[in-house]
Amino acid sequence: MALLAASTVERWIVLAPAIVVGFGIVGGVLILLGRAFAATVRESGHPRWIVAGLVGIAGAVVLLTYLGVELPRE
């Protein structure tokens, strides 16, 4: 059992740099997309409509998930 635990710890130590770099890349992309979206909303003629639409979509997703609606699978 100790050998199994040791190999798991070693695996995490070896993968730690890749995990940190991966999270950094994902975080950077999310920041970039967020800033671009914020600039688009600011420059649009109707920023309240855009925000209201996003809130409506998020609310619909939450409501349908709560009700247990699932998409058909092929």
Q: What is the pLDDT of residues 37-73, one digit of tens each?
A: 999 988 988 889 998 999 999 999 999 999 999 888 8
Token duo for residue 21: 């770099």
pTM (predicted TM-score): 0.62
**Sign of the Cα pseudo-torsion (54, 58, 63, 67, in order):** positive
Question: In the chain, how many domains are there?
Answer: 1
Q: Which domain holds residue 14?
A: 2-67
Flag whether 44 is in a domain.
yes
Q: Has residue 3 got a pLDDT over 60?
A: no
Does residue 74 lie in a domain region? no
Amino acid at 61: V
Residues, the chain: 74
**pLDDT tens by residue, 19-38:** 999 999 999 999 999 999 99
As a whole number of angstroms, the distance between CA 64 and CA 52 comes to: 18
pLDDT band at 4 (very low <50, low <70, confident <90, very high): low
Q: Is residue 28 situated within a structural domain?
A: yes
In a domain, 73, yes or no: no
User: How many other C-beta atoms can be found within 10 angstroms of the C-beta atom of residue 47?
Assistant: 13
